[in-house]
Amino acid sequence: MPADRRRARDLGLAPGIFPPGPLNAITDVAGVRVGQVTVIAGEGTRTGVTAILPHGHNPFTHRVPAGVFAMNGFGKMAGVTQLQELGELETPILLTNTLAVGRAVEALVDWTLAQPGNEAVRSVNAVVGETNDGRLNDIRARGVGAAELRDALAIAGPGPVAEGSVGAGTGTMAFGWKGGIGTSSRVLPPALGGFAVGALVQANYGGALVMDGLPVGRLLGKYYLAEHVQQQADADGSVVVVLATDAPLSDRNLQRLARRAMAGIARTGAAFSDGSGDYAIAFATHPEAIRSPEKRAGAASYADWPNDRISPLFVAAAEATEEAVLNALTMATTVESRIGGKRVVGRALPLDRVAEIIARRGN
């Protein structure tokens, strides 16, 4: 962790009512693994890859139920239509920049075909999310290659998740400040099922930043449509949210869960602008929900949490998503590059000024 950066809770920001898991990360959902590769090269390449694996098994043979939701579909997410049609993930999820989506699909296909037990596989639905990091990254230089994509998959593991200017968040911006990768989790009390919900975000969008109810963007004078300040924030960009849960949810209810992620994005002050691609994918890892080869061989029964008990999971998804965005911003470090001979800087959110705003709330 950079010495001058802190997670949102360390600043006194704790949105919502449910507590986080031990790591306050998507990896609080048992089995979920994350791998990240940061690509910084030359004057202008500032990008990377983030890989999310749902469990430690072969994801093609042991498929997890999943749902996807697009709040605004200005994006290049791969694999969406089959995910919607079948309601399941059969590969890991890769996040990267817009012009690396094709290479990421190739990497997932190669990785899947190479897994033991997949020798006869002839079709792979690779799922890849993206945001356009071209404001800080020389995106036309195509800095993400096959090696980086393979490495992100290979190093994926449990435990703490690096945040801020790393992986697929290396070159992203959010609310006029340096954005990045952020994560958080929530754990329901036993009376509500005791399930965990984890979120990981690739934050690259704009609006008027709100942090745990505090209008930080307006107070710092940097926000979309701020017509009378010297430096305005851009509303365009994108955000990808990945939700994981150990609750036994059907793909239908996972699609509903994915929609609730956008409540968390809205709470951060998102503009949901015309040029912003706002996507959420949700999957479930409960053992009785996984679609194993044996279950897919014929008629099968799957555990499914009832509709009238799912609302607390919706709340947890929104809360975890909101805090994941805050962590992306508070952990991001300043990134500088030169594109086309022009120096560009994505400045880190000034935590000292945020701390002052938080302190004033207590008075």
Q: Could you give the residue numbers annotated as active site?
A: 238, 276, 278
DSSP secondary structure letter of residue 341? T
Strands (E), the chain: 33-41, 45-53, 64-73, 88-89, 93-97, 127-131, 173-174, 177-178, 180-187, 196-204, 237-245, 276-284, 335-339, 342-346
With contact defined as beta carbons under 8 Å apart, do 117 and 58 qualify? yes
DSSP secondary structure letter of residue 144? -
What span, in angstroms and rounded, lies between the C-alpha atoms of 145 and 340? Answer: 21
Q: Give the Å distances, CA to CA, from 43 to 97, 99, 146, 166.
A: 18, 19, 21, 17
The residues facing 239 across adjacent strands are 203, 278
